Structure 1
Amino acid sequence: MNTTISPEALCSLEQKFDQNPVHTVAMNAVYTNGINACARNYPVDREITHDYSISLTQGKITNQKKSGRCWMFAALNCLRFALMKKCNLETFELSQSYTLFYDKLEKSNYFLESILNTLDEKTSSRLIAHLLSSPLGDGGQWDMLCSLVNKYGLVPKSAMPESYSSSATSEMCSYMTEKLREFACILRRAHKDGESMEQLRARKEEMMQTIYNMLCISLGKPPKTFTFEYRDKDGNFHRDCDLTPKAFYEKYIGVNVNDYISLINAPTEDKPFYRSYSVSYLGNVIEGRPVKYVNLPIEELKKAAIAQMKDGEPVWFGCDVGKRSSRDGGIMDTELYDLDHLFDTTFGMTKGERLDYGQSLMTHAMVFQGVNLDENGNPNRWRVENSWGEDAGKDGYYVMSDRWFDEYTYQIVVNKKYLPKEVLDVYESEPIMLEPWDPMGSLAK
Structure 2
Amino acid sequence: MKIALTIGGSDCSGGAGIQADLKSFFVARVHGASIVTCITAQNTREIKDIYPLPLKEIELQIDAIMEDFDIGATKTGMVYSKEIAKMIAKKMKGFPLVVDPVFLSTTGYSLSSESLLDGLKNYLIPSSFLLTPNKKEAEIICGKKIENARDAKDACIAMHEMGARNVLLKGGHMEGDATDFLFANEKFYSFTLPRIKKEIHGSGCTLSAFITAFLAKGDDIIQAVKKAKGCTWSSLAKSINPGKGVSIIFPTSKHVPIINGEKTKIWFSLQSAIDELISFLPLSYIPEVGINFGYAFPNATERKQICAIEGRIIKAGNKAFQAGECKFGASKHIASIILACMENDKTKRAAMNISYSPKIVEACKQVGLTVGNFSRKDEPPGKSTMEWGTKFVIDSLGYVPDVIWDEGGIGKEAMARIIGENPRNVIEKLRKICRAEKRVK
> Do these two structures clear the TM 0.5 threshold for a shared fold by scoring above it?
no
Relative contact order (alpha carbons < 8 A, sep ≥ 6): 1 or 2 greater?
Answer: 1
TM interval, short-chain normalised: under 0.3
TM-score normalized by structure 1? 0.24
Larger CA Rg, structure 1 vs 2: 2
TM-score normalized by structure 2? 0.24
Q: Which has the higher helix share?
A: 1
Q: Which has the higher strand share?
A: 2
